[in-house]
Amino acid sequence: MARITGSNGERTALAIRHAALRLIHRHGFAAMSLRDLAAEVGIRPGSLYNHIATKQSLLFDLMHEHMTTLLAETDAALAAAGPAPLDRLRSFIAHHVLYHLERKREVYIANFELRALDAANAARILAMRHDYEARLIGLLEEGAAAGVLATADMRVTAYAMLAMLTGVCTWYKPSGRLDRAAIVALHTDLALDGIRR
Amino acid sequence: MARITGSNGERTALAIRHAALRLIHRHGFAAMSLRDLAAEVGIRPGSLYNHIATKQSLLFDLMHEHMTTLLAETDAALAAAGPAPLDRLRSFIAHHVLYHLERKREVYIANFELRALDAANAARILAMRHDYEARLIGLLEEGAAAGVLATADMRVTAYAMLAMLTGVCTWYKPSGRLDRAAIVALHTDLALDGIRR
DNA sequence: TCGGAAAACAAACGTATGTTCGTTTACGAG
DNA sequence: CTCGTAAACGAACATACGTTTGTTTTCCGA
């Protein structure tokens, strides 16, 4: 055996990334062996190296692509929103929750596998995460300046909101009781007005 | 060399648990080798087995002890609170945040290393987590029944609140800008009333 | 049609892993 | 003081790991 009939580089590379997302999400990066990954894809361990440089770079690429997409889509959502601070904030929240519902694996990995990256790679991902946080903090400041939002500590408030809005991807199952619109609405209400009647 | 002068079983066992908390929190359970752990404690790898049964049982014990303490302390906090639903909820929130500030390593591990447990151990920890969630859901239902809380989906609301309140242990540093009381107050306000003025 | 690049294989590299074993020495109850 | 046990050691076990290598077969542009 050698090169397999019908084999295609791009398709295999995609399958590797997809399988890696599943395995890392389920077992963690350190607990995913390249032998497991190769078996999931249906190739031999050594063949992975036709498509990835190292295990470390595979993880970094997955995280980097996710952060790039998240930032771009967020900016698009904000650009499409109305000018009112509250509308912009609603738009951010809706996009964040929907994105996290649809790509829970990528999100989970980007949030919890930072420690598996080496120092240089971790720094790059962290910088992108700070960019993302800065967008929300900016929206909170806009709202405070316009007088529609409470003016407590912006940074910690943003952290708390992001934690709440991101939490959805730890329990969400597409087959669940609530549909996506309901989940978005519930989280928007919680963030804006809390649980007190 | 053999048994070391001044060696003491209980002290070593404690040092192992403490070092394990640090290493698992920093690198993850799968990425922590027993050789690293032994080096951190200052003994040889094989000597660990005078104090633990297996690596897996070490993780389970750490998580189980944490969940037991959390449940017991939560019940104590609720028992000490006044009878009004809102007071009880405030008490829950305050205790949760303080506990998570003070034991961020244990919390982080209990939340994110579930996948490293084998099936039977994971089921036991999950059951305790459900117990904890049930306490909050109960409080939300009390509040709804009394008419002081909004009556949206109780389970998802509880998940969102817990995600927000737990998030604090991913960024908190004791040397930070805000003291603990301020962090508790900020999270209580956010949970109850949101960010809208 | 043909030749180089792409993509797979089988096999092996050195190292690290969790764990076990037999041995040695200090501690502490009688 | 004595003796069983606790608690450490050094060494080794089998297995698993990420990665490299050389080879083989298929694909595809000129």
Residue A167 · residue B162 · CB < 8 Å: yes
Instruction: Give me the residue spans of the domains in chain A.
Output: 1-52, 54-193
**B167, A159: Cβ pair inside 8 Å?**
yes
Distance CA A43, CA A28 (A): 21
What pLDDT was estimated at residue B1?
47
Residue A5 has pLDDT above 90, yes or no: no
Distance CA A65, CA A60 (A): 8
Residues with Cβ within 8 Å of residue A189, at least 6 apart in sequence: B150, B152, B194
Same fold, A1-52 and A54-193: no
What pLDDT was estimated at residue B115?
96
Q: Within window 97-126 on B, which residues have Cβ closer than 7 Å to strand D? A: none
What pLDDT was estimated at residue B159?
97
| Residue A30 CA distance to nucleotide C19 C1' (Å) | 20
DSSP for B102-144, written as a single string: HTHHHHHHHHH-GGGS-HHHHHHHHHHHHHHHHHHHHHHHHHH
What pLDDT was estimated at residue B6?
62
A4 CB inside 7 Å of strand D:
yes
Residue B155 has pLDDT above 90, yes or no: yes
DSSP for B31-96, written as a single string: T--HHHHHHHHTS-GGGGGGT-S-HHHHHHHHHHHHHHHHHHHHHHHHHHS-SSHHHHHHHHHHHH
Distance of CA B28 to the CA centre of its chain: 16
Distance CA B59, CA B100 (A): 19
The yes or no reply on domain B1-52 and CATH 3.20.20.70 is: no
Using DSSP, state whether B83 is helix, strand or coil.
coil
What pLDDT was estimated at residue A151?
82
pLDDT tens digits for range B12-24: 999 999 999 999 9
- For the record, the structure tokens of B106 come out as 């244990």
- For the record, the structure tokens of B140 come out as 């939300």
- For the record, the structure tokens of B92 come out as 């829950």
Nucleotide nearest to A53 (CA to C1'): D19
In this prediction, residue B197 has a pLDDT band, given cuts at 50, 70 and 90, of: confident
pLDDT tens digits for range A94-113: 999 999 999 999 999 999 99
Q: B66: how many CB neighbours lie within 10 A of its CB?
A: 21
Residue A74 · residue A132 · CB < 8 Å: yes
pLDDT tens digits for range B48-93: 999 999 999 999 999 999 999 999 999 999 999 989 999 999 999 9
Distance CA A95, CA A187 (A): 12
Residue A28 · residue B116 · CB < 8 Å: yes
In this prediction, residue B5 has a pLDDT band, given cuts at 50, 70 and 90, of: low
Backbone angles phi, psi at A115, to 5 degrees: -70, -15
Distance CA B117, CA B65 (A): 15
Average pLDDT, chain A: 94
Residue B72 · residue B95 · CB < 8 Å: no
The arithmetic mean of pLDDT across residues A45-51, rounded, is: 95
What residues of chain B lie within 8 A of the CB of A193, using their CB?
150, 193-194, 196
Nucleotide nearest to B50 (CA to C1'): D7
What pLDDT was estimated at residue A4?
61
Residue A1 has pLDDT above 60, yes or no: no
**A157, B194: Cβ pair inside 8 Å?**
no
The one-letter amino acid code at B163 reads A
Residues with Cβ within 8 Å of residue A154, at least 6 apart in sequence: A137, A140, A141, A144
Q: Using a pLDDT cut of 90, give the percent of chain A over it.
A: 91
- Specify the fold of B54-193: Tetracycline Repressor; domain 2 (1.10.357)
In this prediction, residue B151 has a pLDDT band, given cuts at 50, 70 and 90, of: confident
